[in-house]
């Protein structure tokens, strides 16, 4: 099937069989379950000679979806979309990097830009980033988002909130409720996804701003950089956080030692928090987040500098620092992630789906007992940088790309 096609109307369904959705040479034309003996989907050489800490930590065996499913391009008209949230009525809220938020209909029709949002700094990796809705949205219409905010000392990852007006044209009573200080005069590594946990508090992620001078702040409990943060709807540290009451740590910190976290998701059965973060040249990580734990960056890593040099003492394991559940070398640049909780494709239940930027695919990770036991690459023939993925209220997956596309991936 050709990869070149024209949109017919608003949406174009161009694939209907699972066998046409996976371009990996090692799995074409085969179906397999989680106990698959298919070859790993990654066939390129790693950047380093680092060895995994345990079997299955990287390059696990491939799997192949057996269920027929359809992939539909709903829109190609978005402008650098970054975040997406499902509304209760089946529509979506989508953020665009330059600072626009809009509602998108299930058929891909785009609404007008929503007014009232604060200005963002869209230089480099900044802009209007993650978005989520209040668990009580149907009654309170509250929306929360992350963005790169200008301050007198540089930029920060910030959290805004507002009430979507009844006519859906503006955000009302907008407030900036949290800023991940210190500010830094840089253009990289803001994070940032945002979601609600099971207690009604907000989880968000920040980057360590990339540069050598800011990297150590990922290990600094007095800094908001390189962290997973847990706050209330008003932006205060959430009660029960692991560093609550400690003078040497910020009470909003939930976990630390992160590089650039752009993926957050909660497991639909266990309630565990999972994240995805960028490594440098190799060393992208999938982590299961536990309160108060140190995830190692930049002390331990499976990546190397973009120049090819080793990072720090070139170690991958250290006592008191968590190992990733899974890592990638070479990098796939994992951005948004989601667990599948739907019933339409039972074999996908509780699988983690990872939007991959430089890898230009969606990774499907089969997870058992908190370990990855199988991996598949979806939509690898599309040549798209996948920025975010969520499950819609209809039980299908929806993904956005840097190139402006919105995809629906669901039962045929």
Closest residue by Cα to residue 257 from 208, 214, 306, 222: 208
- CA–CA distance, 145 with 155 (Å, rounded to integer): 16
- CA–CA distance, 95 with 84 (Å, rounded to integer): 6
| Alpha carbon 142 to its chain's center | 22
Q: Which listed residue (189, 258, 267, 361) is catalytic?
A: 189
- E runs forming strands in 268-316: 273-277, 284-289
Verify whether residue 258 is a known catalytic residue. no
Task: Go through the chain and tell me how many residues it has.
Answer: 412
**Backbone angles phi and psi of 138, in degrees to 5:** -60, -25
Closest residue by Cα to residue 378 from 98, 370, 347: 347
- CA–CA distance, 26 with 22 (Å, rounded to integer): 10
Closest residue by Cα to residue 21 from 326, 267, 348: 348
Closest residue by Cα to residue 401 from 351, 353, 348, 362: 362
* Token code pair at residue 11: 């949406």
| Alpha carbon 291 to its chain's center | 19
Q: What is the DSSP letter of 309?
A: P
- The answer to whether 230 and 202 have CB atoms below 8 angstroms apart is yes
* Token code pair at residue 333: 């640049």
* 225 Cβ contact list (under 8 Å, min separation 6): 180, 182, 184, 206, 207, 208, 209, 214, 217, 218
* Token code pair at residue 309: 């040099």
Q: What is the DSSP letter of 137?
A: H
Task: Determine the 3-state secondary structure of 410 from DSSP.
Answer: strand
Q: What is the set of active-site residues?
A: 189
């Amino acid at each position: 099937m050709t990869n070149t096609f024209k949109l017919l109307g608003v949406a174009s369904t161009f694939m209907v069989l699972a066998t046409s959705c996976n371009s990996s040479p090692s799995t074409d034309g085969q179906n397999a379950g989680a106990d698959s003996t298919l070859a790993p989907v990654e066939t390129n050489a790693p950047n380093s000679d680092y060895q995994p800490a345990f079997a299955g930590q990287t390059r696990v065996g491939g799997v192949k979806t057996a269920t027929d499913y359809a992939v539909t391009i709903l829109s190609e008209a978005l402008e650098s979309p970054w975040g997406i949230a499902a509304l209760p009525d089946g529509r979506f809220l989508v953020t665009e990097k330059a600072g626009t938020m809009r509602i998108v209909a299930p058929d891909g029709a785009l609404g007008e830009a929503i007014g009232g949002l604060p200005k963002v700094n869209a230089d480099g990796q900044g802009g209007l980033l993650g978005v989520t809705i209040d668990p009580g949205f149907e009654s309170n219409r509250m929306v929360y988002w992350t963005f790169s905010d200008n301050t007198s000392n540089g930029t920060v990852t910030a959290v805004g909130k507002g009430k979507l007006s009844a006519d859906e044209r503006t955000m009302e009573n907008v407030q900036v409720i949290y800023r991940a200080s210190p500010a830094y005069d840089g253009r990289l590594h803001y994070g940032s996804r945002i979601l609600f946990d099971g207690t009604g508090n907000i989880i968000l992620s920040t980057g360590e701003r990339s540069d050598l001078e800011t990297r150590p702040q990922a290990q600094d409990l007095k800094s908001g950089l390189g962290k997973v943060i847990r706050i209330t709807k008003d932006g205060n540290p959430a009660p029960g956080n692991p560093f609550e009451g400690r003078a040497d740590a910020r009470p909003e910190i939930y976990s630390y030692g992160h590089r650039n976290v752009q993926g957050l998701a909660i497991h639909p059965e266990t309630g565990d928090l999972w994240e995805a973060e960028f490594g440098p040249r190799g060393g992208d990580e999938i982590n299961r987040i536990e309160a108060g734990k140190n995830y190692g960056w930049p002390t331990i890593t499976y990546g190397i500098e973009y120049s090819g040099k080793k990072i720090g003492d070139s170690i991958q394991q250290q006592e008191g620092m968590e190992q990733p559940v899974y890592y990638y070398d070479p990098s796939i640049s994992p951005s948004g992630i989601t667990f599948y909780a739907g019933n339409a494709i039972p074999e996908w239940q509780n699988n983690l789906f990872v939007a991959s930027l430089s890898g230009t695919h969606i990774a499907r990770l089969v997870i058992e007992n908190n370990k990855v036991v199988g991996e598949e690459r979806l939509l690898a023939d599309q040549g798209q940088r996948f920025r975010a993925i969520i499950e819609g209220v209809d039980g299908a997956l929806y993904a956005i790309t840097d190139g402006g596309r919105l995809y629906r991936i669901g039962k045929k």
